[in-house]
């Protein structure tokens, strides 16, 4: 081998070494995440969020459900599910007041807001240099699925979110198949607050409670209520004579015994049949994946004959 051939070999080796040692910055980088939020704002993340502060219980539940729980560094005061989230630092939220200083100190690369937060709060956080995504409340199950995918994209968990949505859709389809065989629809009154027995608060049309009762093969006796939420008179309740009374206010201590002791309520079919039951209101009031848990529980209550 002559000198020239040897020189070519040396040059080739040097080129190979330089290529192997080239900085990672020269390699193609992932495209930024650009999504439009519920306020119509275009929100950009250079990479999936790794430090997230949640400002609503529903957001916290979604983050954990899509597999981003380990990326959550702070949560609102009312988050109580899942259990792992309760140990996280609280950033407030009582009476709508949040500790902005603490939020900034947590160094989030994303704050996930919800409709319980005001546009003014979003702007105030942005003015502090924090990236905020405002997640609108869905109006139906499909919208809830879309929110799961959105949070999956923001946190780099889109495959996990897609798998979760597929699983939830299968469970809802199974319920729909069961309900297709239903011949009677029991009448249901869902109590949100019965502290005024003559005018208990309940949920009307346009709420997830009304939608889930219908999907579960029931009839919401307050569906005609003007507005999504409101008070339903005792007179109207006695006329409706529901087969079931579900106590969303059981978390605040309301019991079936207390309901039965209310003047005039002893004539209601649900009271006479012992079908005044506690219900976990978090599962129907928070627009997250546990809406499907609530749907399945409603089917078990309203249609125990379905297997």
Domain ranges within the chain, ordered by starting residue: 33-170, 182-302
C-alpha to C-alpha distance for 290 and 212, rounded to whole angstroms: 12
pLDDT of residue 95: 86
| Helices and strands in the chain: count of H runs, count of E runs | 13, 12
Confidence of residue 25 (pLDDT cuts 50, 70, 90): very low
CATH number, span 182-302 = 3.40.50.1980
Mean pLDDT, the chain, integer: 91
Q: For residue 197, which of 271, 259, 267, 281 has the smallest C-alpha distance?
A: 259
Q: Say yes or no to pLDDT of 15 above 50.
A: no
Q: Dump pLDDT digits (tens) for 120-175.
A: 999 999 999 999 999 999 999 999 999 999 999 999 999 999 999 999 999 999 99
Q: For residue 209, which of 145, 282, 258, 300 has the smallest C-alpha distance?
A: 282
Q: Dump pLDDT digits (tens) for 249-298.
A: 999 999 999 999 999 999 999 999 999 999 999 999 999 999 999 999 99
Confidence of residue 102 (pLDDT cuts 50, 70, 90): very high
C-alpha to C-alpha distance for 35 and 60, rounded to whole angstroms: 19
84-109: buried (b, 16+ CB within 10 Å) or exposed (e) per residue?
ebeebebbbbeeeebbbeebbebebb
Q: Which long-range contacts (CB under 8 A, 24 or more apart) does 250-256 make?
A: 250/278, 250/279, 250/281, 251/280, 251/281, 251/282, 252/193, 254/191, 254/194
Q: What's the CATH superfamily of 33-170?
A: Nitrogenase molybdenum iron protein domain (3.40.50.1980)
Confidence of residue 16 (pLDDT cuts 50, 70, 90): very low
Q: What DSSP string runs through 168-194?
A: HHHHHHHHHHHHTT-----EEEEEEE-
Determine the average pLDDT of the residues in 223-234: 89
What's the token pair of residue 218? 């029931």
Q: For residue 289, which of 84, 135, 144, 142 has the smallest C-alpha distance?
A: 144
Query: Are the beta carbons of 222 and 254 closer than 8 angstroms?
Result: no
Determine the average pLDDT of the residues in 218-247: 94
Share of the chain above pLDDT 90, in %: 86
pLDDT of residue 245: 98
Determine the average pLDDT of the residues in 43-68: 98
Q: Say yes or no to pLDDT of 68 above 50.
A: yes
pLDDT of residue 10: 39
Q: Say yes or no to pLDDT of 3 above 50.
A: no
pLDDT of residue 307: 75
Confidence of residue 213 (pLDDT cuts 50, 70, 90): very high
Cβ burial, residue 239 (10 Å; 0-12/13-18/19+):
exposed
Determine the average pLDDT of the residues in 1-25: 42
Q: Say yes or no to pLDDT of 11 above 70.
A: no
pLDDT of residue 31: 86
pLDDT of residue 17: 42
Q: Dump pLDDT digits (tens) for 73-93.
A: 999 999 999 999 999 999 999
C-alpha to C-alpha distance for 262 and 280, rounded to whole angstroms: 22
What 3-state DSSP class applies to 37? coil
pLDDT of residue 29: 61
């Amino acid at each position: 081998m002559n000198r020239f051939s040897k020189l070519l070999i040396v040059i080739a080796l040097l080129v190979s070494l330089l290529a192997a040692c080239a900085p990672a910055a020269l390699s193609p980088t992932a495209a930024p995440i650009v999504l439009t939020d519920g306020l119509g704002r275009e929100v950009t993340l250079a990479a999936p969020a790794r430090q997230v502060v949640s400002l609503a219980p529903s957001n916290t539940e979604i983050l954990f459900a899509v597999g981003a729980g380990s990326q959550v560094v702070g949560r609102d005061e009312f988050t109580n599910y899942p259990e792992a989230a309760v140990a996280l630092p609280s950033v407030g939220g009582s009476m709508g007041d949040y500790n902005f200083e603490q939020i900034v100190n947590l160094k989030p690369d994303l704050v996930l807001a919800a409709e319980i937060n005001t546009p003014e709060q979003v702007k105030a956080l942005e003015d502090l240099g924090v990236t905020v995504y405002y997640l609108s409340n869905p109006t139906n199950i499909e919208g809830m699925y879309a929110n799961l995918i959105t949070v999956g994209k923001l946190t780099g968990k889109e495959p996990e979110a897609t798998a979760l949505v597929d699983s939830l859709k299968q469970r809802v389809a199974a319920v729909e198949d069961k309900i297709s065989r239903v011949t009677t629809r029991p009448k249901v009154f869902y109590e949100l607050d019965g502290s005024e027995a003559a005018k208990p608060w309940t949920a009307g049309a346009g709420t997830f409670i009304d939608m889930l009762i219908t999907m579960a093969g029931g009839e919401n006796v307050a569906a005609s209520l003007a507005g999504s939420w409101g008070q339903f008179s005792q007179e109207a309740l006695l006329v409706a004579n529901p087969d079931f009374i579900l106590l969303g206010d059981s978390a605040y201590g309301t019991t079936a015994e207390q309901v039965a002791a209310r003047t005039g309520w002893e004539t209601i079919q649900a009271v006479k049949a012992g079908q005044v039951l506690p219900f976990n209101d978090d599962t129907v009031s928070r627009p997250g994946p546990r809406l499907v848990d609530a749907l399945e529980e409603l089917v078990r209550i309203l249609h125990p004959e379905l297997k």
